[in-house]
Chain A
Amino acid sequence: MSSRELAPGAQVTQLYLHHQNWLQGWFAARLDCPEQSADLTQDVFLRVLRRQESLRQESLRQPKAFLRVIAKGLLIDFYRRRSVERAFLEALAALPETYQMSAEERQMLLDTLDEIDAMLDRMPAKVRHAFLRAQLDGLTYVEIAQEMEVSVRSVKRYMRDAYARCLRYRLNS
């Protein structure tokens, strides 16, 4: 089969037909709850559809490698999201302020936390540390610099990098 003559939408369809079973198996082998495999497989192809312009010929020549890259990212985020949920539940249990929250408010807060977390997770450790110290603990750049034993200039660079990464993530999603 040559995918060259096919329109991008049809290419994705071909990709889906030929590889969905394999991909579902790939997920099942890596998940402790295999019921999630079908959902994650769908998500991979949704992502491929959304980024059709990035479907290059070489990725179609190596379709499994191409799909695996996307699948890995989704798998990491699946586990990350679960750890966010777990930490969130623990926080709910521990913090008295949450008694007044409605179910919708909780869901909104969880979604917000999850989205911020996805950005933080992609930052280098130092950048993330500086960002959290500034945003959560309200430390000044000077205090962060002392704590991390780096120059204030470096802290500013970390912060700028953190913001730029967050913005890029939001603009791309």
Chain B
Amino acid sequence: MTARQVVVDQAADWLMKTEDRSLTPQETDELQRWRAAHPEHEQAWQAALQLRGMIDQVSTDFGRRVLGRSRVDRRNVLKSLLLVAAGYPVANGVWNAAPAWTADYRTGVGEQLSVPFVDGTILRLNTATAVNVVVGERMRHVQLVEGEILLTTGSNAARPLLVSTPQGTIRPMGTSFSVRTLDQDRVFVSVFEDSVSLAPAQSVGSVVVQAGESVTFDARETIVSSTHAERSPAWARGQLVSDNQRLDEFLGELQRYRPGVLRCDPAVADLRISGVFQLNDTDQILGIVGTTLPVSIQRITDYWVTVSAP
């Protein structure tokens, strides 16, 4: 550790002490002596006071909205930029690795948004979602940065539409379908009308997904396929639907619509739950879980809820 680091750590310690409580007279003396001992000490302490002043300028509301916004890790931003730099053929060059916070449309946790286009196409954003929309001469691109969208294309869509994710592109053929990023590697597509053509970024061919089918794919290939009988996703109706679903999976889904942390104790993880729940009140959903299943819901804070054995 360099001498400079030691000084900075000492200043940080003093700053913490003064925030915690008021200093005792001895401590005040000690701080004065420390500041006077070396010009670097005083310089570090002035920086500490300036920092304090800056933080005090920011109101809670502003801070939460600006500083507390969801952010991409700096290393990942770098990685995505490097990917472009290396000329990596991600999604045929459509994807320009725009980080989530440069998105054109965005929803926070628990929010939804409907974006109508001139030609009648409707783009719906589910919770915690970010998309960029690029309208080009011959084509419209919807880049799903994170989260989940539902696209219902208009009857006379003038320009073809393309949805791109880092894992691949989805080309609709006059249709209604949803796309969700599951994690860093996988994307989930569900088709409700007509069909879409799906092209994983690193594969040569494409796959057609028909109405009533859902697939999960990564950059190379389709991983899982399943069928459904829905006309639209439940979330677009403001609902969370579960059918004999494991409790940990159910809470994992619910978590997407709730800020803060929702934990499931492994002891109750394989309890089963069925029902149609209204997403506009996630507290109420938790209440129903608490009364219908043998679990106890513990609220440590509003942002930290644990579901465990009673």
Contacts and interface: CB of A to CB of B under 8 A. Distances in A.
Summarize B's interface: helix, strand, loop or mixed. Answer: helix
Given A30-B84, A83-B69, A83-B102, A136 B63 contact: yes
B301 interface: yes
A39 interface: no
Contact of B66 (A76, A87, A160, A170): A87
B57 A109 contact: yes
Interface stretch (A4-12, A15-23, A49-57, A89-97): A89-97
Given A72-B78, A121-B71, A159-B16, A167 B8 contact: yes
B85 A88 contact: no
A76 to B, nearest CB: 5
Interface in A52-94: 72, 75-76, 79-80, 82-84, 86-88, 90-91, 94
Nearest to A140: B20
A139 B74 CA distance: 26
B58 A143 contact: no
Contact of B73 (A115, A117, A125, A132): A125
Interface in A82-134: 82-84, 86-88, 90-91, 94-95, 97, 108-109, 112-113, 115-117, 120-122, 125, 132
* Contact-residue size bin, chain B (C-beta under 8 Å from the other chain): 35 or more
A30 B15 contact: no
A32 B103 CA distance: 12
19 contacts: A32-B98, A75-B81, A79-B102, A80-B101, A91-B62, A95-B65, A112-B57, A113-B58, A121-B74, A137-B60, A143-B301, A163-B11, A164-B12, A167-B11, A167-B47, A167-B48, A168-B8, A170-B47, A171-B47
Interface of A: 29-30, 32, 72, 75-76, 79-80, 82-84, 86-88, 90-91, 94-95, 97, 108-109, 112-113, 115-117, 120-122, 125, 132, 135-139, 143, 146-147, 156, 159-160, 163-164, 166-168, 170-171
